[in-house]
Amino acid sequence: MISKTLRLASVCIACMACAMTTSIAADLVKVGVLNTSGDIAVHVANEKGYFKQEGIDVELIVFDASAKMIPSLGVGDLDVGGGATAVSLFNAIDRKVGVRIVADKGRTEPGYIYQSFMIRKDLITSGRFKSWSDLKGLKFAQGGAGVGPLSVLNQAAIKGGVKYEDIEKSFMSFPQQVAALKSGAIDGSIMNEPYKTLVARDGLAVEFAPSEDVVSMYELSLLFFGDKFRQERADVARRFMRAFLKANRDYLDALEKGRWRQDGGADEIIDIFSRKLNIPLDLARSITPQATDPDGKPALESIARDLAFFQDQGEVANKALRVEDCIDLSFAEAAAKELGAHTRKK
């Protein structure tokens, strides 16, 4: 009896030691998030325990702009971040600040109308705005100076035979843009979900055209790794990417033809989307989701177009900087290979 008790105690102690070792061995990864749609795979991986399965504890740190993540990524205070292409990102890479684009987090595709040109309703109903040529003299809002969507606005201007300089730009957050449309302070915006659905629902603006009509396969959000993370903690970075892509594929499995699945297969993802982005569940269900690549492959042409635009504007002074200098796709490629080809879950 005593021998049996001792054996049982030994097993319990061994299990406790194993649990303690697992806990101690978990690698902390500090991840910058904006709590926008581009962060959905990070939240899904965290909520569904994929990071834990890879021996990773994530600390999510909320930023109000991706540009503010760059210095922290450069010095190693932040391991992972993300956001749109921007002057600040390209200039940081040119100045050898340690950060690289490592994967796609979200983009437009044919049928995935996540981002649109929203024009104030009275300008549409009055006939003031009927075509791209009517962009001239309008005040267009964007989230900040030197951000990627301004390159899309430039392409729309070219489409309408309008000089980019002839469009007045105003910089404010999406919630501020909603108020500005209501007051008439701005004429339009290249607006993302859920805000484009909100302003259309409230009769403040009309969807003139999806940005996909101007620039196809546009990169909305990208995943960044700091150099210290990808170079000095490469094994952890590989495990992080594996969990990220696994969650990314779960997100894709919740979509069908540019919309959420209607058979209940999207419920878990929509719930995470609603809670983590702090938007009502009914609104989360009604939006048009963004597309993303199951293997994390970014649309390089989109990144190159934005970089060239910023160089032409003189905001990125180094004309020799190329997309190849800004990316490291080895982690996404390795993770995709380990996970195998993505097959959509029924």
- pLDDT tier at 22, thresholds 50, 70, 90: very low
Cis, bond preceding 294 (omega within 30 deg of 0): no
294 versus 344: which is more confidently predicted? Answer: 294
CATH code matching the domain that covers 25-107+218-339, chosen among 3.40.50.300, 3.30.70.260, 3.40.190.10, 3.40.50.1970? 3.40.190.10
Could you identify the residue written with the tokens 């890479």? 93
**pLDDT above 60 for 11:** no
**pLDDT above 60 for 126:** yes
**pLDDT above 90 for 48:** yes
- Check: CATH 3.40.190.10 for 115-213? yes
Give the pLDDT of residue 344: 77
210 versus 65: which is more confidently predicted? Answer: 210
Rounded percentage of the chain residues whose pLDDT exceeds 70: 92
**pLDDT above 60 for 5:** no
The pLDDT mean for the chain works out to: 93
Give the pLDDT of residue 227: 97
Give the pLDDT of residue 56: 98
- pLDDT tier at 7, thresholds 50, 70, 90: low
Non-local (6+) Cβ contacts of 13 within 8 A are none
Tokens of 137: 């003299």
Q: Is 35 left (phi over 0), alpha (psi -120 to 50) or beta?
A: left
pLDDT digits (tens, 9 = 90+) for 222-257: 999 999 999 999 999 999 999 999 999 999 999 999
Q: In CATH terms, are 25-107+218-339 and 115-213 the same topology?
A: yes
Q: Where are the domains of the chain?
A: 25-107+218-339, 115-213
DSSP string of 226-278?
EHIIIIISHHHHHHHHHHHHHHHHHHHHTEETTEE-SSSTTHHHHHHHHHHHT
Q: Are 224 and 63 in contact (CB under 8 A)?
A: no
Q: What is the mean pLDDT of residues 77-101?
A: 96
Could you give the CA distance from residue 342 to residue 223 in angstroms, rounded to a whole number?
20
Whole-angstrom CA distances from 52 to 47, 76, 101, 198 are 10, 22, 24, 36
Could you give the CA distance from residue 173 to residue 128 in angstroms, rounded to a whole number?
25
Give the pLDDT of residue 290: 95
